[in-house]
Amino acid sequence: MEKFKKIFGRLMTPNPKLPQVINKSRVYNSYVALIEIGVIVFWIIIPGRTNQTSHVTKFVIDSIVNIVAVMYVHVSYKIKYF
């Protein structure tokens, strides 16, 4: 549990070494990723019970792609034309 708190705290706090614009974007993208995780849980629980496996699979993959896209800001601090 301590490890999750440490990771969560690091994602939600600004880094003083980065410009303010990127810091705000990183925090925003962290919230977007958490919302997308909630969307994945929703798609697995609600429509997944109605035997809509192709729709559920497509939407879960879409949410995973969105998470990867917004987390790209965390690993690449020098994004050109950001």
Residue-wise pLDDT for 32-78, tens only, equals 888 888 888 888 888 777 878 888 888 889 889 988 888 776 666 66
| Domain total in the chain | 1
Q: Is residue 80 part of a domain?
A: no
In the prediction, which pLDDT does 42 show?
A: 86
Model-level pTM? 0.66
The string of pLDDT tens digits covering residues 11-43 is 777 777 777 777 777 778 788 888 888 888 888
Which pLDDT score, from 0 to 100, does residue 74 have? 66
Task: Determine the structural domain holding residue 49 and report its residue range.
Answer: 2-75
In this prediction, residues 5-15 reach a mean pLDDT of: 75
Identify whether 82 is part of a domain. no
Residues 6 or more apart from 46 whose CB is under 8 A from it? none
Closest CA to 66 of 35, 27, 21: 35
